[in-house]
Amino acid sequence: MSLLIVGTVAFDQIESPFGKTDKILGGAATFIGLAASKLGVDSGIVSVIGGDFPERDFNLLQSKGIDLTGIEKIESGKTFYWSGRYHSNMNSRDTLVTELNVLENFQPVVPEKWKNAEVLMLGNLAPAVQMMVLNQMTRRPKMVVLDTMNFWMDHTLTDLLQVLKHVDVLTINDEEARQLSGEYGMKASAERILQMGPKILIIKRGEYGSLLFKEGEVFFAPALPLDEVVDPTGAGDTFAGGFSGYLAKTMDYSFENLKRAVIYGSTMASFTVQKFGTESLQELTDAELWERLEIFRELTRFDLD
């Protein structure tokens, strides 16, 4: 039950109607790792950080049982930094600053002990970098999950289409599904994308939940209506961490279990958005997680008779 995570470990600085943060711990691999760690999975991160990355944050990730030997530290460089501002409706945001820094020339190196991981979670990164990781695996993972975004469709579509041929699960949002497929409807989009390589597609729709597609099957997962969304940053990565972590833990890739994995991912993401950055994930107790999983179960449960 091993999960290899590839993605950014970064600084985020966020403004939302609920406040403004300093530079805080962020990055796709961070959220994925913290979410997966809640499930007690044996996980490791492949990433890169600069000399400015605080020992406190490094220790935090390590304290959660995440193996960090795959994180390269470039002492002379600076850690990837993103700053953004969310609008009052929380559905749109402006990027204020993107400093790639050490990420610019990132050459991922998978530690020997992680080259036969059961599940590989390729967090949102340049598709060429995602491909480099795949190529280093000595055993094809049982499940390769890839997260990506419109930026890579705009700028490196050929690379993206190439890596898609080698993954099992793709996670994107609805606009990205439309862009990638050239189809408007979600069902038509899914059918097109499932011909590009992935056998499974997850379309993330924020407060509207998500759709899980596999050939001939579909699952409509809910999102929990929340009192307040304070900071949506990391919601998609938390989802990816809960999803891939649950699969790595259970090692069951049936459609029934994929549905459960989606519910775990959605449940964890519902915590992330309630506070800034990784605060919710850091504090989350097992009891809170189980309680909310039950709420998710009730949310869509009905009997026809």
Footprint on this chain of a second copy (rule: CB under 8 A)? 88-90, 184-188, 190, 205, 207-209, 211, 218-223, 225-229, 256, 259-260, 263, 293-294, 297, 299-300, 302-304
C-beta closer to a second copy: residue 199 or 292 = 292
Q: Whole-number minimum distance, CB 219 to a second copy, in Å?
A: 7
C-beta closer to a second copy: residue 139 or 302 = 302
C-beta closer to a second copy: residue 58 or 219 = 219
Point out which residues pair with 234 in neighbouring strands.
none
Q: Whole-number minimum distance, CB 169 to a second copy, in Å?
A: 17
Q: Whole-number minimum distance, CB 183 to a second copy, in Å?
A: 10
Tokens read off for 156: 């490196």
Q: Whole-number minimum distance, CB 25 to a second copy, in Å?
A: 27
Q: Whole-number minimum distance, CB 10 to a second copy, in Å?
A: 28
Alpha helices by DSSP H, listed for the chain, are: 28-37, 55-63, 127-136, 150-155, 157-164, 174-181, 186-193, 235-250, 255-272, 279-283, 286-300
Residue with tokens 């993401």: 269
d(CA 57, CA 6): 17
Query: Which among 249, 273, 274 is positioned nearest to 261, based on CA atoms?
Result: 249
Tokens read off for 34: 């913290």
C-beta closer to a second copy: residue 28 or 194 = 194
d(CA 107, CA 94): 29
C-beta closer to a second copy: residue 55 or 227 = 227
For residue 55, count other CB atoms closer than 10 A to its CB.
Answer: 7
